[in-house]
Structures are given as structure tokens and as C-alpha cells.
Chains A and B, each alone.
Chain A
Amino acid sequence: MGAWKYLLGTALLAGILLTPALIVMGPAGGSFDDALFVVLAALMLVSGLAVVTMRDIIRCGLAMIVCFLALAGIYGVAGSPLVAAAQVLVYVGAISVLVLFAIMLTQSKRAPSRLVFQTQAGPAAVLAVVIALMVTLTVTGTAWNEVAERMRVGASALAATLFADYVLPFEIVSVLLLMAVVGGVFLAKREERGS
């Protein structure tokens, strides 16, 4: 019955994820890390596509979490576990949970099938083209060898940079976040008093 559908879907997904890895490990002669990177990248692309194409908004949110987790895995493979842990802690543990929270409090299962965000296809297309152009420009304009060197900075070096060289921007950002929190609380409270 339903179980076969899910088994088939799982097999298909495993095929999509593992085929590039097998190609990398076999004919292309890459290492285990390369294969892991390819699997994670494929997972990220598949789940990213799922986020923008699926109809059920909760499933979209969960696919987004998978996407973030795959990105954290890529950070780990690239040799900076600190960034990976921060990615999981902030993006999965806080932001995605907040998004899911908001959806669950506001949406219901019988939501209109034509969801709000799908009515703005025109502006979204323009935005997508602009972003694609910008990404292409950045990718072609970056010296990737240097970046790979910079990625492998350890936690202590990162801390030294953050708290010695860039301490003023860091503090300003934290004050900005505090202001946002206080503003949010103020707005929420004022509405309650008015009613």
C-alpha cells in the first residue's frame, strides 16, 4: 500500500544522492572526503528544490532544515567544525524552529492551495535572475585557492580575529540585535494594551 510508495521514494532519493558519489569515488578517483562532499551537496540541492517546489508549507520548512543540516555537513567536511556547529545551533535550532512555530500558529491544514508566496511569481523571477547574475559575478571573480586556505582557520584564530581586530563591529551588531529584541517586545506589548 502506502509503504511501497515511500520505499520507492527512498530508493530514488538514495540513487540521486549516491550516484554522483560513486562516480567521484570510482572513475574520477576522488577521496572519501570528496565523495562525502558530493553527497552532501546533492542532498542540499535536492532539499533546496523541495523547499521551493512543494505545496505543503510544513514539509517545505522541514526540507529547509535538511538543507541547513547538509550545509553544516559541508562545513564539517571543509574542516571548520565550529562553523558547522554554529550553523546547526543557530539555523536549525533557532531560526527554523521559529519559522515552524510561526507557521503552526498561523496556518491550518485547510489553507488555500494558492499560497500567498506563490502569487508573486513575476517579481520573484526578476529577483532570481538578479541573484543568479550576482552569484555568477562573485564566483568568477573570486580566487578560490586563497579562500580554501582561509576556510581552514581554527576556532582560536577565528576568536582572535573576531575579538581583537573586529571587536567594534561585533559589539555594534550585538547592540543592534538587542534593539531589535526590545522593539519586538515593545510592539507586541503595546498591541495587547490597546485592545
Chain B
Amino acid sequence: MTVMSRAWGRLTLPGKVIFTAIPLLLALGVALALVVGILGGPIVELASQYGAVLRFLVAATIILVITIPTAFLIIFMEMKIIAFMNLRVGPDRVGPWGTLLSVVHGLKVLMKEDFTPSRADPLIFTLAPVVVYGSSVMTLVVLPFAPGLFAQDFNIGLLYFFAMGGLAVVGLLMAGWSSFNKYSLLGGLRSAAQMVSYEIPLTLSVAGLLLLAGTMSVNQLVANQSGWFTNWYVFQQPLGFLIFFIAVTAEANRTPFDLTEADSEIVAGFATEYSGMRFGFFFFAEYVNVFIVSAMTVALFFGGWNAPFPFPALAILLDPGSLGIWLLLGIAIVPLVGTLVLSLPFLLTRSAMPAWQAIVLGFVLFNVAVVGLLGVWAFVSFDWVAGLLWFLAKTYVFVFTFVWMRATLPRVRIDQLMGFAWKWLMPAALLNLFVTAGAILVVGR
């Protein structure tokens, strides 16, 4: 008990709030599910009456919650992949292959002292991480994860994405100013300058794509790229993709453009004075941003949730109802037979192994096979499962690319950074726009 109370005493205020909030939320969720399950009818009727509001609330909650595992996963990927590229071992203490280290990082951040410098502006100092994190969460709203699996489909989706992404600049400026530290202020100003500069080629680079597609709804853009992978916009807009990817790297503050908090050179830029969970929010927002920009690249240029080629209808769509009495027999017999069949090789070949061990092993193998088959069945019969898998697979390829770039490329200088944006990227984006417009005039869409 004393251990618990000591650990509790070490938590900072946000830590205490979060540790009480998580069980409360879990209990509330279970209670809600139970109430809906028991009462059934009237609740569903009431829900369908307020369908739009309810859908919005559920979507907002899901979006807020999925940022946590996403960030944890990307932080772990970054630690482990960079370690492998540097010929190090990387995290290997907590959990299998160190997978739980990012959870420990999260707990650590909650227990650290949450420090506000004297003469800082406490209100703005506290709100700045919220603005940065909020702006990146808000952009998640328009991301289409799978057919029918998106929070909101705006007909101005892409514009909304850029507008909300631009809000992060305000948060960085707030952080830099309110820290009451010259270096924080300079860091905030230079990160704002960088992000404002790179917003221009970023927005211009998708203008050609919008001319081709004729819509700004991200959902519609993804739907336009269905069929073979040659329909992906990257093949019609290679230059646009290149500019978009470079600009987005700068927007997400990733190497080689991570000048906003060049860890090894200028302490931490705008975040110098931050500690505890308030720094944690900046950290979190960065990794959520990596996911978001990868997902946006995939949605715009790499077909989003579309498979690279149309699957031949390998959907032997099982219709379990048609089996009749055989279905019941199958449910009763198949696990038994499957377990025995799968344990047979061990029984026959490993004489040192006792029979019960072989049977347990067979049961485990049978379960693995069933889960695999269930996955295949879900992939084939539900559109959104296949879509989600393709989308996440492509997205994590780009997340890996960002990590790879961080392990490989050196950082650029600030004047090189600005010169590159204004002298190369912007003219290239304009050229891309002109060529696309000309091609559309000559060839048609």
C-alpha cells in the first residue's frame, strides 16, 4: 500500500487527473455498453433520433483516443529502427523487444515536475501545448481511413486540412513568447517562419492535383484513385508529390528540416522551458503529426484505402446459414478434430514430448489458424477491413520513410532551408501547376 501511495504522491496534477480519469472512463464505457445491451430498443431509437450529433461525438472520442497508441507505436518504431540503423540494440528492457518503453515514457512524463518559469505568462504557457496538439488532432477529422470510416467528409476537406494545420504556428509562437526566455522566443519565431514559408509550396503543390480531380473532398479524391495502381495520382503528379512530401517534412518538423527544435544545437527551441506533461503534449503532437502527414500523402497520392490492384473475386463468400444442421455439427466437431490433427505431428515425431503438451500445442496452433482464417474472412467480406489494412500499411511505409530520413540525413542550415522553400520549391510548384493546367487543356482530364 505504501508503494501505491508513494507513487501517487509523485504524480503531478495532470498525472493525477489522467490516472483517475482512465478508470472512470472505462467504467463509464462498460456501463454504457451494459445499459444499451439491456435496455436495447428505446436507447437505439433515441440514438437514431440524434444520429448526426451522436456520430460526431463518437468520432471525436475515437479520434482523440487513437492518437495515443499511434504516437506510442511511432515513438517505439523511431527508437528501434534508428537503433538498428546505427548498429545498436535499442530498447530491449520493458516488454517483449522493448515494446512497452514508450508507455513507460508516457508515465515518466506524467510524474516529472511540471515547471512554470517565474515571470512567465502561466495562462498562455499552459494553453500553447493544447493549441499545438489540438491543431494536429483536428486535422485527423478529414482523414478517410477506409470506405465509410471517417469522422467527417467535408467538400472542402483539403482546405480544412491546411487551415487547421496552420493553427499550429499560433501555438508555437505562444510557447516561445510565454516562456520569458530569449532563446525560446527566437526558437518560436524561427519555427513560425519556417512553417509559414513551407505552407506556400505545400498548398501550391496540391493545386495541380485538384485541377485533375475537380474536388477538394479527401474522400472523393481517394475514391477517384480506385482500380489499378496506375490510377494513383503520384503517376500523374510526380513533381507535385515530391514537393508535397518535402514541404510536409518541414511542416511536421522532421529531419532534415527539424530546425524548430534541433536537439543537438539549440537546446529545444520554443520548448526549452517546458517540462512534464506540457512538454509531453508537444512531443505527442510531433508524432501524431508524422502519422497525419504520412496518411495525407497516402490519401492524396497513393490511393488511400484502395488496394494496388483489383482483387479477382476470391471472395468465396461463405453463407453459413445455408449449411443447415451441418453448421451445428461443424461447430461441435471442427475444434476437436482441428486440435487433434494439428497435435498429431508432434505426437508422432517428438517422442520426448508428453501427450498433453502436444495437445496443448495443437490447440494453440488451431487457434492461430482460426484467427488467421477469421482475418481473411473479414478482409474478404468487409470493405472497410481491407481498406483500413491497406491504408495503414501504406501509411506506415511513409512513417518508416520519415524515421529512415531521420537516421540518415544531416540537418540543413536555416538560410538553406528558407532559400530552398522560396527559390526552388515554390517555382517548381508553380511550374507543376502550369504544366498540369496545360496538359488538361490539351488532353482533357
Q: Which A residues contact B (CB, under 8 angstroms)?
A: 2-3, 6, 32, 56, 58-59, 62, 65, 81-82, 85-86, 88-89, 92-94, 96-97, 100-101, 104-105, 109, 155
Contacts and interface: CB of A to CB of B under 8 A. Distances in A.
A92 B166 contact: yes
A7 B53 CA distance: 28
A57 B356 CA distance: 77
B189 A62 contact: no
Contact of B170 (A2, A6, A81, A100): A100
B389 interface: no
Contacts of A3: 13
Contacts of A32: 53
The A interface is mostly helix, strand or loop, or mixed, namely helix
B400 interface: no
Given A100-B173, A104-B189, A88 B167 contact: yes
B199 interface: yes
B119 interface: yes
Contact of B163 (A59, A89, A105): A89
Given A2-B122, A93-B166, A97-B170, A104 B185 contact: yes
B124 A59 contact: yes
B94 interface: no
Contact of A85 (B13, B53, B160, B173): B160
B222 to A, nearest CB: 19
Interface stretch (B151-159, B358-366, B413-421): B151-159
Contacts of B188: 104
Contact of A81 (B156, B166, B178): B156
Contacts of A97: 166, 169-170, 173, 192, 196
Interface in B121-139: 121-124
A94 to B, nearest CB: 8
A93 B177 contact: no
A105 B167 CA distance: 20
Nearest to B168: A93
Nearest to A85: B159
Interface in B160-187: 160, 162-164, 166-167, 169-170, 173-174, 176-178, 180, 185
A88 B124 contact: no
Interface of B: 13, 53, 119, 121-124, 154-156, 159-160, 162-164, 166-167, 169-170, 173-174, 176-178, 180, 185, 188-189, 192-193, 196, 199
Contacts of B160: 81, 85
Contacts of B163: 85, 88-89, 92-93
Nearest to A105: B189
A62 B164 CA distance: 16
Closest 6 CB pairs of A and B: A93-B166, A88-B163, A85-B159, A89-B163, A85-B163, A100-B173
Contacts of A81: 154-156, 160
B143 to A, nearest CB: 16
Contacts of B123: 6, 59
A59 B125 CA distance: 11
A92 B170 contact: yes
A61 B346 CA distance: 73
A58 B166 contact: no
A40 B192 CA distance: 28
B177 A92 contact: no
Given A58-B177, A97-B173, A97-B192, A82 B156 contact: yes
A76 B176 CA distance: 31
A96 B170 contact: yes
Q: Report which residue of A2, A3, A86, A100 has the largest number of chain B beta carbons within 10 angstroms of its beta carbon.
A: A100
Contacts of B164: 88
B124 A62 contact: yes
A3 B122 CA distance: 10
Given A89-B162, A89-B166, A105-B189, 6 more contacts: A59-B124, A81-B154, A97-B173, A104-B173, A104-B185, A155-B156
A104 B123 CA distance: 17
Nearest to B195: A97
B356 to A, nearest CB: 60
Contacts of A92: 163, 166-167, 170
24 contacts: A6-B122, A32-B53, A56-B121, A58-B121, A59-B124, A62-B124, A65-B170, A81-B160, A82-B156, A85-B160, A86-B159, A88-B163, A88-B164, A89-B159, A92-B166, A93-B162, A93-B166, A93-B199, A97-B169, A97-B192, A100-B170, A100-B173, A101-B192, A104-B176
